[in-house]
Structure 1
Amino acid sequence: MTIQDPGDGIRVLSVAGEIDHDSVDVLRDAVEQALADGRDRLVADLSAVPFCDSGGLSLFVETHRRTTARGGWLRLAGPQAPVRFTLNVSHLDAYLNVHPTLDEALAPPS
């Protein structure tokens, strides 16, 4: 995982590899650190994630709730086809803010 702070209170968490019960704690720790650092606008760059299980989905929902409660947001960027499919069948694509690319996720709302 790499972490970037491009400005405006945004933190980008770029994840590589599968998000599953063995690895979700790395992402959870990064989210916790971001919130502790006062970052309430988070982007999870999923462009290098080929698989995400229910643990990752639960973390996305929890993070969405926590950031919006603080006046911020969570955006998912660039999910690969299998992850998009999982978001779709779970109907989380309608609940979470999903963008096809990192650039689009970082763009201000129009």
Structure 2
Amino acid sequence: MPLPPLTIYRHDRKNRALITLAGEIDLETVPLVRASLERCLRDGIRTIDVDLTPVTFCDCCGLNAFLNASQRITAAGGTLRLHHPPPTLVLMLDVAGCEFLLLGLPFGHLPPPPEKAPATTAPVPPHRPVPPVPALAGGAV
């Protein structure tokens, strides 16, 4: 029996959640991502860390879901952080100027990624306001 295209695990600790996504995030699976993040908000969770280590692919639908969720979570007084994204998502975040979603490590559970080169930029502060995401025709980013 084949594995589902996306598996979602959630671990809560008080008012914080660690969501681990495994598989591919695309048009078919992005509703699961949106529902998972919305459920956290409905449950009163205001700090959401998303571990993307086991994600093999993420397209612009995934980026759009994370940006929309970030706006809703920030409006509710919380934060959304993405950890260890796949290279395609890192590139999209860089092009879109959305690096603010990449902050820290959740709960201290995850080891740091392998060192590739020394950091040449200043560390990211623990929280920055989320800039508004412009609406595009068709609702996609």
> TM class by shorter-chain length?
0.7 to 0.9
Which of 72, 84, 87 is residue 66 of structure 1 equivalent to? 72
| Contact 2:46/2:78, CA 8 A, preserved across alignment | yes
Tell me the residue number matched to 2:94.
Answer: 88
Give the drift of 1:31. 1.0
Equivalents in 2 of 1:99, 1:72: separation in Å? 14
1:39 aligns with 2:6: no
Structure 1 residues 31-64: Cα deviation after superposition (integer angstroms, max 9, x where no partner): 1111110112111111111221111111111111
Could you list the runs of 5+ residues in structure 2 that have no partner in the other structure? 1-7, 111-125, 127-141
Letter in 2 for 1:22: E
Which of 78, 97, 103 is residue 99 of structure 1 equivalent to? 103
Could you list the runs of 5+ residues in structure 1 that have no partner in the other structure? none
So what's the TM-score if we normalise by structure 1?
A: 0.82
- Considering only aligned residues, what root-mean-square deviation do their CA atoms show, in Å? 2.2
Letter in 1 for 2:102: V
Equivalents in 2 of 1:27, 1:10: separation in Å? 17
Which of 2, 6, 13 is residue 19 of structure 2 equivalent to? 13
Structure with a larger share of its residues in helix: 1
Q: Which has the larger radius of gyration?
A: 2
So what's the TM-score if we normalise by structure 2?
A: 0.65
Q: How does 1:23-34 map to 2 (within 5 A)?
A: 23-34=29-40
Higher relative contact order (CA closer than 8 Å, sequence separation 6+)? 1
* Percent identity over paired residues: 32
Change (3 A) 1:40 1:100: closer
Give the drift of 1:90. 2.4
Equivalents in 2 of 1:101, 1:80: separation in Å? 15
